[in-house]
Structure 1
Amino acid sequence: MVAGFSGPVAGLVQESADGAKLYFDAINAQGGIKGQTIELVTQDDKYQPALAVAGAKALASQGVLALILSRGTGPTEAMLPALKENKLPLIAPATGAASLRDPVQPWVFHLRASYEKEAERAVKHLAGIGVKRINIVQVNDEFGNDAGKGAIKGLDEAKLRALSHLRYDRNKPDLGPTMQAIAKAGIEAVVLIGPAYAVVEGINALRAAGSTAHVATLSNNASSDFVKQLGENARGTIVTQLFPYERSTANPLVREALGLAKAAGRAELTPAQLEGFAAAKLVVETLKRTNGKEITREGFTKALETARVDLGGLQVHYGEKDHNGLEFTDVSIVGPDGKFWR
């Protein structure tokens, strides 16, 4: 059995793939599922929709059972016709876009919560620690717009208003002047929504301008690579998380993942690796529920759509009109050691 992984094979995405492989390797060591082992085939789409489509078609022609962990809204949306044409399910795409959730996309099965839920959680955290002067700075695309709506919702529920809501171009962030203005205005916190390179640029510019404002960003930046890029400016950055704390052995999913990681010679996990691990476990639990000895895409999809799976303290269930997966959200803060603390 083959699972296809589609995404730029670097940084956060590589960590997700590593987490998935950790679980698949453990299952294969036990003999696989129904006498078959699971192979993870990776495809680098360089975050380009055209390459994502070509990759999905290529993987489909190779006989993969399903795709997992595609990266980004644009590439994932572009793959939808190929998924339909090949009856190829996509599990746990690394996107929380509303456009992929409503209406329900029949071949897409989400695992993580939406961008709106993430941003709403970030704002609630800031309000909960007494912050009132909050600014929203978002990338001007679908991802940014979805998250921006969530941030506004969080502010509304806290009976607060954004002092300003600014947008920037994904390809040319140029956040220096924006952050200088924010520093001069005495903003207490910035909800900074965007890709890692833009958020890194924004945080560095904010600190260079002398501001000590809180900065909150989303889980697309929950990687060790993001922290390394920020260097000394990483400390104190608030990053939303969509899975339990990766060092909390009180959680069954984390305890299992850490146990396998240590057995494989790894001392710890990252949030992205835990997400990949959870996605792989969802695949395996669904495979166990398929009928018959021969596992087909149709049978796998049917089993997935009627599944109720306990991933280890996280309950996932889908239906014909609900492919949303989890609603779990949390926040972490980058500590002085460069790790995500909760």
Structure 2
Amino acid sequence: MSKSTRSRPLSRFAASIATALVAFGLSAAARADILIGQTAGFTGQVAASVKELTLGARLYIDKVNATGGVNGQKIDLQSLDDGFDPKRAAANAQTLIDKGAVALFLTRGTPHTQAVMPLLDKAQVPLIAPSTGAMLLHKPVHPFVFNVRSTYQREAERAVQLLLEMGNTRIALVQVNDTFGADGIAGAMAGFNDRKMKPVAHFTYEREKPDIAGVVKQLIAADPQVVLMVASQQITADTINALRAAGSRILGATLSNNASNGFVQLLGQNAAGIIVSQVFPSERSTNVPMVRELGDLVKAHPAESSGQVTPAMMEGFASAKVLVEALKRAGKDPSRAAIQKVLNSMTRYDLGGMEVGYSPTDHTGTNYADIAIIDPRGRFLR
């Protein structure tokens, strides 16, 4: 037998092997994990709350994966650290999109999410549960952004209304000088206008180089009963701690972006009495099914959670429930387009005592807003 004659069966065999490998590869791809991408500040000004937020989400995703995943596939949540830098957030989002993420999830920060938004249109990829209540994510409705939490304007307006109802007529406002700060202050001013009143003072920080000493000096001179701060947890805690070090007893209040155990730890002995607005049910309302469900998961994983449920964990947990439900409804091998489509038709979904809903003309999810006061044990009481 000639060399050429002997090579033909081998060539056919090699071709068969190659075909089988290709077929196996396609089958393996069909069974691949569902890639979900997250960019957030795991280091930097908001690191503590971002870690609690993500832990709440991962506890639920891990539970789903441990019980078979979604339609037989596991969820692979890949989280990248952007250091609370909008440019890095955009770069991370592009990396995750290029890797094939079918959805982005739980971004943190208003300028940071704003930097990601142009990529959503270009890649036709949905962003589920950005951890920011910026109005620009709600109006006009962005076709690829699906919010799970209430707006900053709504919670700031409600916080001012409640502070005024408590008899605090002299309220000062402090904001970071970016889109987040402007958004929260717009809501606060709506609360004042509703009562035909005005803040006693209004001061602004630069986000990158905050002049905390200067703002503290101005606050003490203005002598308000309460200061409502629209800023990151680090800046807010540093300001309150500096006020206390200067002997000031001005009451501190802030928004839900600081509703975390990490914020309490930054405040240390100055935490008690600080008011923090809330956008989810109380973590101690165990009569609410989703609160009880998260509480059970925390108890089962004490090493990760320190055995304590926090408001930030509640937000992450609720957000993950929306994500998982969208993936379930999108069917086997969910595509970006399928996820967007099912979310637009998710008119009422019960998270377990709290409903979210979307339509093509409304991506707000929920308008829940309340306030809590940090007690001497570091708990958020309502």
**TM-score scaled by length of structure 1:** 0.95
- In structure 1, distance between residues paired with 2:319 and 2:246: 41
Contact 1:19 1:272 in 2 (8 A): yes
Counterpart of 1:175 in structure 2 is 212
What letter corresponds to residue 216 of structure 2 in structure 1?
M
Q: More deviation in 269-278 or 157-166? A: 157-166
Instruction: Identify the match of residue 312 of structure 1 among 332, 352, 365.
Output: 352
Contact 2:171 2:224 in 1 (8 A): yes
Instruction: Identify the match of residue 323 of structure 2 among 261, 283, 290.
Output: 283
- In structure 2, distance between residues paired with 1:293 and 1:188: 56
- In structure 2, distance between residues paired with 1:193 and 1:58: 31
Contact 2:149 2:366 in 1 (8 A): yes
Contact 1:5 1:17 in 2 (8 A): no
What letter corresponds to residue 189 of structure 1 in structure 2?
V
Q: More deviation in 127-136 or 157-166? A: 157-166
- In structure 1, distance between residues paired with 2:212 and 2:88: 29
What letter corresponds to residue 299 of structure 1 in structure 2?
A
Instruction: Identify the match of residue 263 of structure 1 among 300, 308, 318.
Output: 300
Instruction: Identify the match of residue 334 of structure 2 among 257, 274, 295.
Output: 295
Contact 2:356 2:366 in 1 (8 A): yes
Mapping 1:75-86, distance limit 5 Å: 75-86=112-123
What letter corresponds to residue 234 of structure 1 in structure 2?
A
Contact 1:241 1:329 in 2 (8 A): yes
Counterpart of 2:265 in structure 1 is 228
Mapping 1:1-342, distance limit 5 Å: 1-9=34-42, 10-265=47-302, 266=305, 267-290=307-330, 292-307=331-346, 308-342=348-382
Q: 1:293 offset after TM fit, Å?
A: 2.8
Report the CA distance shift for 1:178/1:8 in structure 2 as closer, same or farther (over 3 A): closer
Q: Cα deviations across residues 148-180 of structure 1 (Å, max 9, x unaligned)?
A: 111111122233221122222222222324323
Q: Cα deviations across residues 215-248 of structure 1 (Å, max 9, x unaligned)?
A: 1111111122221111111111111111111121
Q: 1:199 offset after TM fit, Å?
A: 1.1
What letter corresponds to residue 65 of structure 2 in structure 1?
N
- In structure 2, distance between residues paired with 1:113 and 1:235: 25
- In structure 1, distance between residues paired with 2:148 and 2:49: 17
Counterpart of 2:18 in structure 1 is none
Report the CA distance shift for 1:170/1:302 in structure 2 as closer, same or farther (over 3 A): same
The answer for unaligned runs of 5 or more in structure 2 is 1-33
Structure with more helix by fraction: 2
Contact 2:38 2:93 in 1 (8 A): no
Q: 1:317 offset after TM fit, Å?
A: 1.0
Q: 1:86 offset after TM fit, Å?
A: 1.6
Q: More deviation in 88-97 or 255-264? A: 255-264
Report the CA distance shift for 1:80/1:178 in structure 2 as closer, same or farther (over 3 A): closer
Q: 1:210 offset after TM fit, Å?
A: 2.2
Q: Cα deviations across residues 270-317 of structure 1 (Å, max 9, x unaligned)?
A: 111111111110011112222x43321111110011112111121111
Q: Secondary structure at the match of 1:170?
A: coil
Q: More deviation in 8-17 or 180-189? A: 180-189
What letter corresponds to residue 339 of structure 2 in structure 1?
F
Q: 1:184 offset after TM fit, Å?
A: 4.1
- In structure 1, distance between residues paired with 2:222 and 2:82: 41
- In structure 1, distance between residues paired with 2:183 and 2:91: 27
Equivalent pairs: percent with the same residue? 46
Residue correspondences, number: 341
Q: Cα deviations across residues 77-126 of structure 1 (Å, max 9, x unaligned)?
A: 11122212222111110111122222111111111111111211211221
- In structure 2, distance between residues paired with 1:172 and 1:87: 36
Q: 1:206 offset after TM fit, Å?
A: 1.8
What letter corresponds to residue 334 of structure 1 in structure 2?
I
- In structure 2, distance between residues paired with 1:271 and 1:326: 16
